[in-house]
Amino acid sequence: MTNVLFILTDDQGPWAMGCAGNDEIRTPHLDRLAASGARFSHFFCSSPVCSPSRASFLTGRIPSQHGVHDWIR
């Protein structure tokens, strides 16, 4: 069985890590995880708002199917 670890962050652009080529931001632990695991450089976001996007990630459904369309308060 393969172990899978998902790390979700808020408002972090794909450029905001050392492993993505940013020399100003130090992310040694994330860089090490990226070097030893799978790193996705091409991706799709189902919604520009975090709650619907995360709900899509966790359910495998688009916002119109799971019903989360805005921030969860």
The answer to whether residue 34 is domain-embedded is: yes
DSSP state of 15: T
Closest Cα partner for 11 from 39, 38, 49, 46?
49
Interval 18-64: pLDDT, tens: 999 999 999 999 999 999 988 887 878 888 888 899 899 999 999 99
Q: State which residues form the domain around 31.
A: 13-42
Stated pTM of the model: 0.64
Residues 52 and 38 in one domain: no
The answer to whether residue 24 is domain-embedded is: yes
**CA–CA separation, 69 and 47 (whole Å):** 8
The answer to whether residue 5 is domain-embedded is: no
Helices (H), the chain: 28-36, 50-59, 63-66
| Tally of structural domains, the chain | 2
Residues 49 and 70 in one domain: yes
**CA–CA separation, 4 and 20 (whole Å):** 21
Between 65 and 39, residue with greater pLDDT = 65
pLDDT at 42: 83
